[in-house]
A and B are shown apart, each in its own frame.
Chain A
Amino acid sequence: EAGVTQSPTHLIKTRGQQATLRCSPISGHTSVYWYQQALGLGLQFLLWYDEGEERNRGNFPPRFSGRQFPNYSSELNVNALELEDSALYLCASSLRYTGKTQYFGPGTRLLVL
């Protein structure tokens, strides 16, 4: 069974540009979570999508946004990129039911110059 996939693996942007990161969940999973891991910092929760709706978001500015498609894949968009947005962005998926295990993808490493 295929795991969570993310693309691209690496992304280089300049300040002020927009970045789009993509995630495909494990087949059958309807919930998608996004996390940010900046260098030297822990994993921080960004966003949670389920059944196409944003269910919760972490303490990040509105320029971090996303969506979930009918096939449950998801995009994370980061507008007006800042240098401190450079990080590993991780996507996880889980079954819809409460408290289910989240499985993580390999991540997209974003570098903002």
Chain B
Amino acid sequence: DAKTTQPTSMDCAEGRAANLPCNHSTISGNEYVYWYRQIHSQGPQYIIHGLKNNETNEMASLIITEDRKSSTLILPHATLRDTAVYYCIVRPTNRDDKIIFGKGTRLHILP
């Protein structure tokens, strides 16, 4: 599976947009970009995923560059409850299989 690179940690002020970057330069054409987050000691929560178009749902927006080598997860109005570890993952579209989690980005929302 393609590997991803994320910053170890980030800070964001409450009420501001949080922009979390992810590099996936070796992504294949049949691989999705997925984002999950894990609030302390809880199970990972699915946020959003996309293949090549930008995606938006009630939680976040996902912006994927045209060459698909990087993406940005945007939380439009961060709250203290968004403090978590955010994982960017690439997964093939043609396999049922395990998710390979990296170390993710620890996002701190500052009051």
Contact = CB atoms under 8 A, between A and B. Distances in A.
A55 B44 contact: no
B96 A98 contact: yes
Interface residues of A, number: 29
Interface in B86-105: 91-103
Contacts, number: 62
Interface residues of B, number: 23
Nearest to B87: A43
Nearest to A30: B96
B interface secondary structure, majority: loop
A43 B44 contact: yes
Interface of B: 32, 34, 36, 41-46, 49, 91-103
Given A99-B94, A102-B46, 16 more contacts: A35-B98, A42-B103, A45-B100, A48-B97, A55-B96, A56-B98, A58-B98, A90-B43, A90-B44, A98-B95, A100-B96, A101-B46, A104-B43, A106-B42, A107-B41, A109-B41
9 contacts: A42-B101, A50-B96, A56-B98, A92-B44, A92-B99, A96-B96, A98-B95, A99-B94, A104-B44
